[in-house]
Amino acid sequence: MDNHFPEDFWWGASSSAFQIEGAWDEDGKGMTVADYNSFKKSEVQADTKVASDFYHHYEEDISLMKELGMKTYRFSISWARIIPDGDGEINQKGIDFYNKIIDLLLEKDIIPFITLYHFDLPYALAEKYNGWESRECVYAFERFAKTCYEVFGDRVKHWQVNNEQNLMVRVNERMNMYNVSEKDAERVRAQMDYHMFVAHALATNACHDMIPGSKIGPAVSSTKTYPASNKPMDIWAAEMNDNFKTNYALDMYCYGDYPGYYKEYLKKAEISPVRKPEDEEILKKAKPDLIAVNYYRTLVASYLSEDEEHTYGTKVNEIDYDLYGYFKIEKNAHLKSSKYGAQIDPMGLRLVLNDYYNRYRLPLIITENGLGTPDELTEDGKVHDDYRIDYLRDHIAACNDAIADGVELIGYCPWAVIDILSSHQGFKKRYGFIYVNREDHDLKDLARIRKDSFYFYQKVIENNGLTKY
């Protein structure tokens, strides 16, 4: 197979603040909703208090990134480390920490690629404003974004505003600290979602205004859905599942408004968000420079009709929710699954990349793609993760095919650079190229151990995408 990766391709890896940093309340950092949710699970799995302890191991970890050969590191800044209560005083020690990260990355010739918001709203804003339901949260985020541009923008030119807004607004555990009745939940979700779009637009516009030569865009949880059969309604259902879970958001980011099918749904379900007249100009102006794609799996859908009991717009499960009058999620009998149930489908990545590029004609970068599974440390202190190597090889090949198809793919940043705290399975579910020697309730020595996949990916980067080793 010919190698189609361009010479300037960004080989990298990813993480997020609450899943890697630890030091959850150190040096003035405030509590986040991610902390809140993790503490509720502390008896059964690890929480954010230590995580991978990147806060105290960043020099060692960035040296390992350099050894791996990474061209870019996609990571997030904790809003509550910069502004502990979300909209109050700025914490200089938080700025100092990220300055050290950015400077060391640049010293190692690794491009910092920063996400401003990765599931970790300052908890004080949930208490004060009910989070994103309030317009005040939008303005607080704009101030946070501008603060980051002001203090880091002289060295950081590549940004993501938020991570997986399209998924975030649908996950109950990320909603359950808010004051929301079950009856009113869908209206509140729709309002929060809309306010996040406005915040995204304001942050995008500010980035373009404040940082010359900057590039910024959203990161979406990608969705590719196959029809359960060749029945016309199943084909429509598959398309609508993609539309409702991802494409409506990309349309808003790229075109500044909801598509017609989504407006119609909001209207009929009586959950249309409150919009301000000035928002139209703000949203239309906020043109992204790129789209970041987080890809793990594909889905299958069949048509789910309404009945007398279930009327238009009724949701019946999470996260892959079904919608009466639209779609029902089915299992794909033709795919293997990971230990935690995600069906593995490299061809789906090629299809997603083609879909998004053909629709939006913007450069794409993969900012999450990886295999989460338990890893075993052998008696001689090694991790033989051939299963992860197989996963990566197949998905990198799909990227190569997509580039050959004509997709402008500029980078590949798997999840994750080192083992990080999984939101749902703590440290049982591992993604990294580097093993962190700890368990959920035993910190051990937190040693960093290169897995076999580390050496595989190192060779991939050295050879700009060749994967046959």
- 368 in catalytic set: yes
- Residue whose C-alpha is closest to residue 128's, from 117, 139, 112, 142: 139
Residues 153, 166: Cα–Cα separation, whole Å: 27
Task: Say which residues have a Cβ less than 8 Å from residue 182's Cβ, sequence separation at least 6.
Answer: none
Question: What pLDDT, on the 0 to 100 scale, is given for residue 311?
Answer: 66
CA distances 245 to 167, 196, 360, Å, are: 8, 15, 17
Whole-model pTM: value is 0.95
Question: Is residue 440 packed enough to be buried (19+ CB in 10 Å), middle (13-18) or exposed (0-12)?
Answer: middle
Question: What pLDDT, on the 0 to 100 scale, is given for residue 317?
Answer: 66
Written as six digits, the tokens of 124 are: 């004080």
- 330 in catalytic set: no
Q: Where are the domains of the chain?
A: 10-223+248-259+276-297+334-462
Q: Are the beta carbons of 296 and 422 closer than 8 angstroms?
A: no
Question: What pLDDT, on the 0 to 100 scale, is given for residue 183?
Answer: 78
Q: State the virtual CA torsion across 315, 350, 338, 237 in degrees, nearest 10.
A: 20
pLDDT by position in tens, the chain (length 469): 689 999 999 999 999 999 999 999 999 999 999 999 999 989 889 999 999 999 999 999 999 999 999 999 999 999 999 999 999 999 999 999 999 999 999 999 999 999 999 999 999 999 999 999 999 999 999 999 999 999 999 999 999 999 999 988 877 555 666 777 777 888 999 999 999 999 999 999 999 999 999 999 999 999 999 999 999 999 999 999 999 999 999 999 999 999 999 999 999 989 999 999 999 999 999 999 999 999 999 999 999 998 767 766 666 666 788 999 999 999 999 988 887 778 899 999 999 999 999 999 999 999 999 999 999 999 889 999 999 999 999 999 999 999 999 999 999 999 999 999 998 889 999 999 999 999 999 999 999 999 999 999 999 999 999 777 4
User: What ranges in 83-180 are assigned the alpha helix state H?
Assistant: 92-107, 123-129, 135-152, 165-168
Give domain 10-223+248-259+276-297+334-462's CATH superfamily.
Glycosidases (3.20.20.80)
User: Which is the catalytic residue, given 21, 133, 164, 330?
Assistant: 164
User: Which is the catalytic residue, given 21, 133, 330, 368?
Assistant: 368
Residues 328, 377: Cα–Cα separation, whole Å: 40
First-to-last C-alpha distance (Å) of the chain:
14
